[in-house]
Structure 1
């Protein structure tokens, strides 16, 4: 555990980039070999759009990183936040509690709120317009959403009182798990169900990308599945019935053109339909 803390306390930008690129590469190879769906699409053209939006996310996080660092350092110096108010506990338990809480605020809560507040949904909907979900979809976020998610992550660091090494560990795990649960990979049914009791499995998250309500408003988690189960937002749907996308933007010229994707938050909003 001490080695992990030491590594993430001094992790370089190059290593963080390697985690991002390495994860995409590994899951890209796996989904090409063991696909959940055999989708007929121009994979590189589709990836090009998602890679561009991934790049904008990286830029946003890089520009605003000093806020996150200052927040984490402030909580440590001032002994502020839930972790700093806990009694002395083993470091492994301290880490698990911290990661669970960061995942709740920075991922589950941020995701839930974006679905419930119309102004925030305008930005998040770009993620849902993807009609070919694969590992590159993980970071298909409008720059506006990247800022929204950064705010929630910073809020999580403040409330939880996370040291910076834990923030870097959480962000690294978040990237890998997002790539994993978006990847177009086929796991044995029982394995996927077993995993879904602990983490967000591929089939569990694919339900969230079904094109109509109420499925779109379910399975919000990113790393841990406990939050969806605890707050009754967990839903299942046979993979054979899943149709990717969002019913308000199913036309290719709307969901597969970068220019339009960037403009969607500023276009007239549309009402989603129930299934």
Structure 2
């Protein structure tokens, strides 16, 4: 089975990757419409339009710089550089498991944490947090500047892990799908959500990260695996009925629901989050 997985992701067609993005949004869009966690009073299409714009810019940036990802993967493979080689992980299952764990740690958890803790980077990541109606489209709400920042961390993850191209595409596919899953405005049975959160980031777990004020905003940074938040002490819980989405510095609709303003937020006067 693992050989088939490797062969598939080694040469995964672009159409399949696009289908995963579109199919994931469609699937969770339908689920959250039928079983919403919160019954928002908003124009879902207007909200989605803003987030789809940022989805498009992210795709454009990733496509334009994709050759750097490919070159990085080829470099580590040809030079046997990275954790996979240093730990002599010849077994493909071990490569997949260890590789995914550390790709997630570096490319998602660390990238996310650094953006919250570094003022210049937070200015770009802030756009993701300004969303006051968290649903599956929010997963792709990233300022073009943040897309570049995340791209750099992804290359760093490839180099440190020593990820062959199939492992990168497997990681990217899981990352996209699970980000749509944990942002989706859908109501899962509480026990099921809790059990899921022991292994991967569940919807209820990630929603806490989108609470509008500290310290909850600075918690639950994970994207695929929940282990890193639990291990590094950034895991928090709170009742979902107490959630207020957004970020306390940008709670006005003209700030958080206006595309023109969202694009220039990184260049506006800095506003410190409140405790």
- Aligned equivalents of 1:66 and 1:241: distance in 2? 44
**Per-residue deviation, residues 209-262 of structure 1 (Å, max 9, x unmatched):** 000000000000000000000000000010010000000000000000000000
Q: Does 1:185 align with 2:198?
A: no
Q: Name the residue aligned to 2:227.
A: 226
Residue number in structure 2 paired with 1:21 = 22
CA–CA separation in structure 2 for the residues paired with 1:13 and 1:3: 18
Mean alpha-carbon deviation: is it higher for 13-22 or for 80-89?
80-89
Give the Cα separation in 1 of the matches to 2:124 and 2:88: 40
- Which deviates more, 222-231 or 78-87? 78-87
Distance 1:11 1:175 in 2: 15
Deviation string for 1:40-94 (max 9, x for gaps)?
A: 1000000000000000000000000000000000000000000011234532122
Give the secondary-structure state (helix, strand or coil) at the position aligned to 1:269: coil
Distance 1:141 1:88 in 2: 34
CA distance in 2, matches of 1:66, 1:94: 23
1:250-261 aligned within 5 A: 250-261=251-262
Q: For residues 20-99 of structure 1, what are the structure 2 equivalents within 5 Å?
A: 20-99=21-100
Q: CA RMSD of the aligned region, Å?
A: 0.6
What residue number does 2:133 align with? 132
Gaps of 5+ in 1: none
Alpha carbons of 1:253 and 1:78: their partners in 2 closer, same or farther (altered >3 Å)? same
1:93-116 CA-partner distances (Å, limit 9, x unpaired): 221000000000000000000000
Deviates more, 1:90-99 or 1:129-138: 90-99
1:262 is aligned to 2:227? no
Query: Partner residue of 2:5?
Result: 4
CA distance in 1, matches of 2:83, 2:235: 26
The alignment partner of 1:149 has SS state of helix
2:207 matches 1:206:
yes
Q: Spell out structure 1 runs of 4+ moving beyond 6 A.
A: none
Aligned length: 274
**Deviations for 1:151-185, whole angstroms, at most 9, x for unmatched residues?**
00000000000000000000000000000000001
Question: Could you tell me the TM-score, scaled by structure 1's length?
Answer: 0.99
SS at match of 2:46: helix
CA distance in 2, matches of 1:132, 1:65: 31
Alignment-derived partner of residue 237 in structure 2: 236
Residues 80-89 or 7-16, more deviating: 80-89
CA–CA separation in structure 2 for the residues paired with 1:9 and 1:94: 14
Q: CA deviation at 1:37?
A: 0.5
3-state SS in 2 of match to 1:233: coil
1:271 Cα deviation (Å)? 1.2
Q: What TM-score does the superposition give when structure 2 sets the normalisation length?
A: 0.99
Q: 1:251 to 1:100 in 2, by over 3 A?
A: same
